[in-house]
């Protein structure tokens, strides 16, 4: 009966019910989209670190982000390689370079140099060619989502990086960069040529450990022996990278502020919607109270009403969210709305809705049941 | 005819509002209701009838004075306890019916059982019987919006009595009804007293209600002016109420 009272209370005025559900749904979409953007951001800027085969990273002292490297002595890898527990240490060279389109004009790219198979990172989401093709001289991998910016779109297309010929040997789809500069993968030696770095230089040394090795011990061992470098776990490097972009760039801060604001605005709208919905039925609740209903019964009806509104709102929101995901899929910052994000938000929404409903209920509970005698 | 009072108030004083706008709505009211009697409370608007009804129904606590329900004083009871008392002993009928617009007649009556946690008997059957007894057998599944005012008020009466309370309190139950529907409702209230032995107290403005009552209590300015208990007083009461009570 509690459910029936709650349900019929709401359904009696479908327009109002829809408005409540829409209010909740919209705030839900707002929050998921903003948090999804944040999640997408986190994923995009960490993609390189997440895809690299590295148990430890040796990075130049003070490295703030993957895309913003200085260089270290690549020969240090031999010193690192002899540390107990280390299976392999491979250099990686990363740097900005000028990409000249075959049709004229240029753009900036981030060259990522690492040998296929033996290196620590290679392109993923390959659509044409094989990563091994990057072994060939002047071979590069580009992402087709940047075709327009790069002026190339398929295998065999030719461009120039810092004046040196670059031939598209591999294409990928969906390797996005957070900056406006696309990633271009190539072999280590080719990257050295593009970036005019001599053979003794590298940006990072990726350390792979033998199975069962104690990462903390190895790290200590390496750190104590190599000067001017830091040894980071992937988690640390990832966090440093995210923090650099999120907290120290305008775009990151805007995104963070947007998410914070969305959560605040979303909560307010949602609570407001529910509060109004409960308040709209004040007369019914006052009548129940006058008839002698216990506070508990009253709260159950209100909680039930809140739950129905929240569920309806979430249902509307999931439709909205699918639309947003579809629209954003090909943007430079795909919105990452995972099932777990939705679940967490659903739980948060439920909590918030109950808080709102009970705030309203407290008012109803204090309602003068004598109100029912008003003419 | 009256034995021990079912409901009794003594020296009730009630101050409503606060500060400059505070009003002494009741100024020492005594009244008792016995099982099986139908009492009418009359008086001009603002004389304190609704306030008295709310206090007698344990909805409001008086500023001063004693309320006894079935012989028990409510003085030390908190809100929850008072609510419990209401659902156990009191059925309310309101001027504007206060039905749930989204619920059918039967569901409205069932809701009254639900707040009382009735589980044992078949609540649906019980609700339907209550509606049949007020002549609404054919209206079980109608929404309040589909019913006439008189029918809605009878649903409200069914809702008030379904859990079998010993006291029925009605605030201007006929004010929104035409005279014929009003008469039907008054007959129904009288039946609750006469046939079912409940104590019924109704506020009414309507002189046509007077013949139905066993007793008429007239209020003015927060006080009880006069009470007619003698049957032979009844014919004079419409005039009494018209002259003295209706300002
Ligand atoms: N909540 C309230 N606050 C202040 N004054 C009130 C309140 N409710 C009623 N009153 C006043 O108390 C008096 C009695 O009101 P009421 O019991 O509603 O009278 P009746 O039902 O006889 O018309 C009136 O003067 C009214 O204005
Ligand atoms: Mg009144």
* Weakest mean pLDDT among A115-119, A325-329, B201-205: A325-329
Domain-located, residue A218: yes
Residue B168 tokens, joined: 């029925």
Q: What is the per-residue pLDDT for A347?
A: 84
Number of H helices, E strands in chain A: 11, 12
Domain-located, residue A289: yes
Mean residue pLDDT of chain A comes to 87
Residue A214 tokens, joined: 């104690």
Domain-located, residue B115: no
Quote the CA–CA distance of A169 and A157 in Å, as a whole number: 8
Domain-located, residue B237: yes
Quote the CA–CA distance of A336 and A338 in Å, as a whole number: 6
Indicate if A159 and A270 belong to the same structural domain: no
Quote the CA–CA distance of A303 and A360 in Å, as a whole number: 11
Q: Give percent above pLDDT 90 in chain B.
A: 72
Residues with CB under 5 A from ligand 2 (ion): B 50
Quote the CA–CA distance of A217 and A220 in Å, as a whole number: 5
Residues in chain A with CB shorter than 8 Å from the CB of B100 are 5, 8-9, 12, 284, 287
Minimal Cα–Cα distance from A298 to chain B, Å? Answer: 9
Quote the CA–CA distance of A142 and A185 in Å, as a whole number: 7
On the question of pLDDT at B199 being above 80, the answer is yes
On the question of pLDDT at B246 being above 80, the answer is no
Q: What is the per-residue pLDDT for B33?
A: 95
Indicate if A73 and A212 belong to the same structural domain: yes
Indicate if A182 and A323 belong to the same structural domain: no
Q: Which of A232, A261, A287 is the last residue of a domain?
A: A232
A9-51 pLDDT tens trace: 888 889 989 998 998 888 888 888 888 888 888 888 899 999 9
Residue A33 tokens, joined: 């989209």
Indicate if A212 and A302 belong to the same structural domain: no
- For residues A74 and B185, the model is more confident at B185
Residue A239 tokens, joined: 């966090």
B148-170 pLDDT tens trace: 999 999 999 999 999 999 999 99
B32-48 pLDDT tens trace: 999 999 999 999 999 99
Indicate if A285 and A214 belong to the same structural domain: no
Residue B17 tokens, joined: 């509002």
Listed residue (A215, A195, A238, A248) closest to A70, CA to CA: A195
Nearest to A5 among B54, B84, B103 (CB): B103
Residue of A369, A372, A373, A375 with the most ligand 1 atoms within 8 Å of its CB, for mutation: A373
Indicate if A333 and A273 belong to the same structural domain: yes
- How sure is the predictor about A350, in pLDDT bands with cuts at 50, 70 and 90? confident
Indicate if A193 and A221 belong to the same structural domain: yes
Indicate if A39 and A60 belong to the same structural domain: no
B39-77 pLDDT tens trace: 999 999 999 999 999 999 999 999 999 999 999 999 999
Domain-located, residue A50: no
For B162, the 3-state DSSP assignment is: coil
Contact B98 A294 (CB under 8 A): no
> Residue with structure tokens 């046509």?
B208
Please count the structural domains in chain A: 2
Please count the structural domains in chain B: 1
Minimal Cα–Cα distance from B211 to chain A, Å? Answer: 24
Half-sphere exposure in the Cβ direction for A142 (13 Å, CA): 29
Whether the CB of B25 sits within 6 Å of ligand 1: yes
Domain-located, residue B20: yes
- How sure is the predictor about A375, in pLDDT bands with cuts at 50, 70 and 90? very low
Indicate if A313 and A203 belong to the same structural domain: no
On the question of pLDDT at A339 being above 60, the answer is yes
| A72 within 8 A of A58, measured Cβ to Cβ | yes
Domain-located, residue A201: yes
Work out the average pLDDT over B118-133. Answer: 85
A52-87 pLDDT tens trace: 999 999 999 988 888 877 888 888 888 888 888 999
Domain-located, residue A243: no
Work out the average pLDDT over B87-99. Answer: 92
Indicate if A95 and A226 belong to the same structural domain: yes
Q: What is the per-residue pLDDT for A252?
A: 83
Q: Is A19 exposed, middle or buried (0-12, 13-18, 19+ CB in 10 A)?
A: middle
Domain-located, residue B148: no
Radius of gyration over every alpha carbon of chain A, rounded to an integer in angstroms: 28
Work out the average pLDDT over A187-195. Answer: 93
Domain-located, residue B74: yes
Domain-located, residue A359: yes
- How sure is the predictor about A267, in pLDDT bands with cuts at 50, 70 and 90? confident
Q: Which of A232, A261, A283 is the last residue of a domain?
A: A232
State the pTM of this model.
Answer: 0.75
Number of H helices, E strands in chain B: 7, 10
Q: Give percent above pLDDT 70 in chain A.
A: 95
Atom number of ligand 1 nearest to Cα B47:
22
Domain-located, residue B128: no
Work out the average pLDDT over B207-224. Answer: 91
Q: What is the per-residue pLDDT for A367?
A: 59
| B40 within 8 A of B209, measured Cβ to Cβ | yes
On the question of pLDDT at A358 being above 80, the answer is no
> In this structure, is the dihedral angle defined by the CA atoms of residues A353, A356, A358 and A364, taken in order, positive or negative?
negative
Range of the domain at A6: 2-44+250-373
| Beta-ladder partners of A73 | A201
Q: In this structure, what CATH number is given to the domain that contains residue B68?
A: 3.40.50.300
Quote the CA–CA distance of A74 and A192 in Å, as a whole number: 12
Domain-located, residue A213: yes
Cα of A217 vs its chain's centroid, Å: 31
Residue B32: what are its φ and ψ, rounded to 5°?
-135, 150
Range of the domain at B194: 5-97+165-241
Q: Give percent above pLDDT 70 in chain B.
A: 89
Indicate if A160 and A117 belong to the same structural domain: yes
On the question of pLDDT at B236 being above 70, the answer is no
Indicate if A144 and A221 belong to the same structural domain: yes
Domain-located, residue A240: no
Distance B67 CA to ligand 1 centre (A): 19
Minimal Cα–Cα distance from B232 to chain A, Å? Answer: 32
Work out the average pLDDT over B130-155. Answer: 94
Domain-located, residue B77: yes
Q: Is A290 on the interface with B (CB under 8 A)?
A: yes
| A313 within 8 A of A14, measured Cβ to Cβ | no
């Amino acid at each position: 009966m509690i459910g029936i009272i709650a349900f019929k209370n709401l359904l009696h005025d479908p327009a109002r019910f829809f408005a409540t559900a829409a209010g909740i749904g919209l705030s839900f979409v707002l929050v998921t989209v903003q948090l999804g953007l944040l999640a997408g951001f986190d994923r995009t800027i960490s993609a390189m670190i997440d895809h690299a085969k590295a148990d430890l990273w040796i990075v130049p002292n003070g490295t703030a982000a993957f895309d913003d490297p200085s260089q270290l002595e690549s020969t240090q890898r031999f010193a690192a390689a002899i540390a107990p527990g280390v299976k392999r240490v491979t250099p990686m060279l990363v740097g900005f370079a000028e990409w000249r389109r075959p049709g004229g004009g240029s753009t900036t790219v981030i060259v990522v140099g690492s040998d296929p198979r033996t290196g620590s990172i290679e392109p993923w989401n390959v659509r044409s060619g094989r990563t091994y093709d990057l072994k060939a001289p002047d071979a590069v991998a580009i992402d087709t989502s940047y075709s327009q910016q790069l002026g190339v779109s398929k295998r065999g297309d030719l461009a120039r990086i810092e004046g040196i010929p670059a031939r598209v040997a591999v294409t990928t789809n969906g390797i996005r960069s957070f900056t406006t500069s696309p990633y271009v993968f190539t072999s280590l030696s080719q990257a050295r040529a593009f970036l005019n770095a001599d053979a003794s230089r590298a940006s990072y040394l990726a350390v792979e450990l033998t199975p069962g090795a104690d990462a903390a011990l190895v790290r200590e061992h390496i750190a104590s022996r190599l000067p001017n470098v830091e040894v980071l776990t992937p988690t640390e490097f990832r966090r440093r990278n995210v923090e650099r972009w999120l907290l120290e760039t305008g775009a990151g801060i805007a995104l963070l502020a947007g998410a914070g604001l969305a959560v605040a605005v979303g909560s307010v709208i949602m609570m407001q919607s529910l509060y109004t919905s409960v308040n709209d039925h004040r007369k019914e609740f006052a009548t129940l109270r006058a008839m002698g209903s216990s506070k508990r019964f009253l709260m159950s009806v209100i909680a039930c009403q809140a739950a129905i509104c929240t569920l309806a709102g979430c249902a509307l929101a999931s439709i909205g969210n699918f639309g947003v995901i579809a629209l954003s899929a090909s943007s430079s910052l795909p919105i990452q709305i995972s099932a777990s994000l939705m679940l967490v938000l659903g739980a948060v929404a439920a909590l918030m809705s109950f808080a709102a409903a009970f705030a309203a209920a407290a008012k109803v509970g204090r309602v003068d049941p004598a109100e029912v005698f008003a003419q | 005819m009256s034995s021990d009072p079912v409901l009794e108030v003594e020296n009730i004083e009630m101050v409503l509002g606060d500060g400059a706008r505070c009003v002494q709505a009741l100024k020492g009211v005594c009244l008792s209701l016995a099982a099986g009697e139908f009492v009418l409370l009359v008086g001009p608007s603002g004389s304190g009838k609704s306030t008295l009804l709310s206090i007698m129904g344990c909805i409001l606590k008086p500023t001063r004075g004693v309320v006894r329900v079935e012989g028990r004083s409510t003085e030390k009871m908190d809100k929850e306890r008072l609510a419990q008392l209401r659902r156990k002993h009191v059925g309310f009928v309101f001027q504007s019916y206060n039905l749930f617009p989204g619920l059918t007649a039967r569901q409205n009556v069932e809701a009254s059982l639900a707040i009382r946690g009735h589980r044992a008997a078949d609540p649906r059957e019980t609700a339907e019987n209550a509606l049949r007894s007020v002549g609404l057998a054919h209206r079980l599944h109608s929404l309040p919006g589909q019913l006439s005012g008189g029918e809605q008020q009878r649903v409200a009466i069914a809702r008030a009595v379904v859990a079998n309370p010993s006291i029925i309190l009605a605030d201007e139950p006929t004010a929104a009804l035409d005279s014929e529907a009003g008469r039907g409702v008054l007959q129904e209230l009288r039946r609750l007293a006469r046939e079912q032995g409940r104590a019924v107290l109704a506020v009414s403005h309507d002189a046509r209600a007077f013949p139905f009552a066993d007793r008429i209590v007239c209020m003015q300015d927060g006080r009880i002016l006069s009470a007619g208990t003698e049957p032979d007083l009844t014919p004079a009461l419409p005039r009494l109420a018209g002259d003295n009570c209706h300002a």
